[in-house]
Amino acid sequence: MILGAFLATLNQTIMSVATPELMIDFHISAATAQWLTTGYMLVNGVLIPITAYLMQRFTTRQLFQASMLIFLAGTIVSAAATSFPALLTGRMIQAAGAGIIMPLLMNVIFTLFPPNKRGAAMGMVGFAIIFAPAIGPTMAGYILENFKWEVMFYGMIPFALLVIICGFVYLKNISEQVITKIDMISVILSTIGFGTLLYGFSRAGSEGWSSSEVLLSIAVGVVALGLFTWRQLTSQSPLLDLRAFKYNMFSLTTVINIAITMVMYADMMLLPLYLQSARGYTALESGLLLLPGALVMGFLMPVTGRLFDRYGAKWLSIIGLIITIITTIGFIDLTDSTSYTYLILMSTGRRIGMALMLMPIQTAGLNQLPSNLSAHGTAISNTIRQVAGAVGTSLLVTVMTDRTKTHLTDIMSAGGNGATQQQMMLEATIQGINDAYVVIIGIAAIALVLSFFIKRTEQSSEEISSTNLNKAAN
Instruction: Write out 59-79 in H/E/C secondary structure.
Output: CHHHHHHHHHHHHHHHHHHHH
99 and 207 assigned to the same domain: no
CB count in 10 Å sphere of residue 237: 12
The CATH number that applies at residue 253 is 1.20.1250.20
Asked whether the CA dihedral 365, 118, 6, 286 is positive or negative, the reply is positive
383 and 272 assigned to the same domain: yes
> Which pLDDT score, from 0 to 100, does residue 220 have?
93
Domain final position from 198, 219, 238: 238
> Which pLDDT score, from 0 to 100, does residue 376 have?
81
> Which pLDDT score, from 0 to 100, does residue 205 have?
56
341-388 pLDDT tens trace: 999 999 889 989 988 888 888 888 888 888 777 778 887 887 787 778
**Mean pLDDT score of the chain, rounded to an integer?**
82
Residue ranges, the chain, pLDDT below 70: 16, 41, 45, 133-134, 175-178, 202-208, 266-267, 390, 416-419, 458-474
How far is C-alpha 262 from the chain's CA centre? 8
249 and 354 assigned to the same domain: yes
Which helix (DSSP H) or strand (DSSP E) does residue 119 occupy? Answer: helix 118-146
Domain assignment of residue 212, given as a range = 183-238
Domain final position from 206, 222, 238: 238
315 and 406 assigned to the same domain: yes
Q: Which residues contact 303 (CB under 8 A, 6 or more apart)?
A: 123
245 and 298 assigned to the same domain: yes
Of 20, 108, 26, which is closest to residue 61 (Cα–Cα)?
108
Distances (CA, A) of 284 to 16, 17, 34, 462: 12, 8, 19, 48
164 and 200 assigned to the same domain: no
3-state SS class at 214: helix
465 and 399 assigned to the same domain: yes
DSSP annotation of 386: H
> Which pLDDT score, from 0 to 100, does residue 199 have?
74
The alpha-helical segments, DSSP class H, found in 312-420 are 314-329, 340-367, 374-413
Of 351, 358, 396, 367, which is closest to residue 256 (Cα–Cα)?
358
Domain final position from 191, 212, 238: 238
CA distance 441 to 161: 41
303 and 277 assigned to the same domain: yes
3-state percent helix, strand, coil for the chain, nearest multiple of 5: 85, 0, 15
Of 13, 4, 280, which is closest to residue 135 (Cα–Cα)?
13
Sequence letter at residue 239: L
384-443 pLDDT tens trace: 877 787 678 778 878 888 888 888 888 888 776 666 778 888 888 889 899 999 999 999
Q: How many domains does the chain have?
A: 2
298 and 163 assigned to the same domain: yes
144 and 281 assigned to the same domain: yes
Distances (CA, A) of 122 to 34, 260, 359, 446: 29, 18, 7, 25
Distances (CA, A) of 324 to 60, 319, 320: 37, 9, 6
Q: pTM for the complete prediction?
A: 0.76
DSSP annotation of 305: H
138 and 65 assigned to the same domain: yes
> Which pLDDT score, from 0 to 100, does residue 399 have?
85
195 and 78 assigned to the same domain: no
How far is C-alpha 77 from the chain's CA centre? 23
CA distance 44 to 275: 28
Of 288, 181, 173, 196, which is closest to residue 238 (Cα–Cα)?
181
Distances (CA, A) of 424 to 19, 398, 410: 23, 20, 10
